Amino acid sequence: MKSISPFPSQAPFDHQAIRDQFPALKQTLGDHPLCYLDTAATSQKPQAVIDAMNEYYQLNNANVHRAAHQLSARATSQYEAVRQQVGHFINASKPQEIIFTHGTTESINMVAYGLTEQLKANDVILIDTAAHHANIVPWQELAKRTGAVIKPIPLTANAQLDIDAYDQLLACKPKLVALCHVSNALGTVNPINDLIAKAKNAGALTLIDGAQAVAHLDINVQHIDCDFYVFSGHKMYGPTGVGILYGRFEQLDALTPMLTGGEMIKTVSFDRTEYGELPNRLEAGTPAIAEVIGLGAAITFLQGLPRQDIAIHEQQLMGYLQQQLLSVGDITLYGIADSPQQNNIGSVAFNVADEHHQDVGILLDQQAVAVRCGHHCAMPLMSELNLAGCCRASIGIYTNKQDIDQFIHALNTVKELLL
């Protein structure tokens, strides 16, 4: 594939016009307009995505790859066009390197299962301590099957990846290094390119969880030079139930399929089965066709936006959000480096004094402010921070200053009630 920018700027920056394309944000809850600060959990969907999925079900509803009639031909054409589109979006070298899954979790599980025959006892697997459970548990299961050893990569005092400790662990010659591009709990950005280069020099395979990065950063997998990169549609303004497993062709082709059955075969008899070629080989069964088409519409939507203007807007919002949180008083922020808005995107993790995070979240919800509260599927990270959990406010391309102001006003009310 030709290397192209995944976010070409095609329109002048009109933030309100972008926000207006998200119907869910127009609602009120009680006496308050919805203030949605939970995009890191799932993003809201633009009308274009909703329309694309509706059109499939209304006009083109048929299975892909399996019939001679026109509906199936149209559905197959749309489905495979999205594979090409995703490939260009992240700059894969060929469309066969794009595997459709049900989300980041399934993508990681497919790799972990697929490597079972390639690992052996005492092989080392390095995992980011700040990783989502989906980038921890599948590797633990792989270790159980093979006798491999899990080693967590420590964090510094401000919850950044400890590069010195990482360098020392690489001396163990790990077989696999699993990292997050952006922490789902803290929003911290890992220096992926440098980390991957070091892992490659140590002879390790590399997998990057890009679920929190793909909606905020330009992703170029050839430049990153990882073996696998995974993400979900619903974090990038697309539908739930669809995700992407990118892998270098030779690495994907060496994976043992996790799912077997229809579509992924070349020939079947009662004596033997021969698997098909990529990408079919790793896509058993009827896929999430409408969701794939919705993902394509989300990419088209993103590609039509002035990405540089939006990046500046989000950076300014992050700085404003952090400053306003600190101005409330009795607020602790987590994972903030010396220049936080430079090393944090999308999310801010915080607690109010010694109050329980769940109490804070419930009281914010009563004022129509949606944030996430809990351990954020990152219990090892919470343990490292000596926390039972925390609150997380996360932004998207539709978030504006009024959202932040409504949130801070609500948080001040919560503080007055609790303290």
Q: What is the pLDDT of residues 243-275, one digit of tens each?
A: 999 999 999 999 999 999 988 988 999 999 999
pLDDT at 13: 78
Place of tokens 């140590």: 202
Which residues lie closer than 8 Å to 164 by C-beta, 6 or more apart? none
pLDDT tens across 350-389, in order? 999 999 999 999 999 999 999 999 999 999 999 999 999 9
> Domain 15-39+306-418 is classified in which CATH homologous superfamily?
Aspartate Aminotransferase, domain 1 (3.90.1150.10)
Which residues lie closer than 8 Å to 365 by C-beta, 6 or more apart? none
Q: Is residue 325 over pLDDT 70?
A: yes
Per-domain residue ranges for the chain?
A: 15-39+306-418, 51-303
Residues with catalytic function: 377
The answer to whether 159 and 188 have CB atoms below 8 angstroms apart is: yes
| pTM, 2 dp | 0.95
pLDDT tens across 166-215, in order? 999 999 999 999 999 999 999 999 999 999 999 999 999 999 999 999 99
| N residues, the chain | 419
CATH class of 51-303: alpha beta
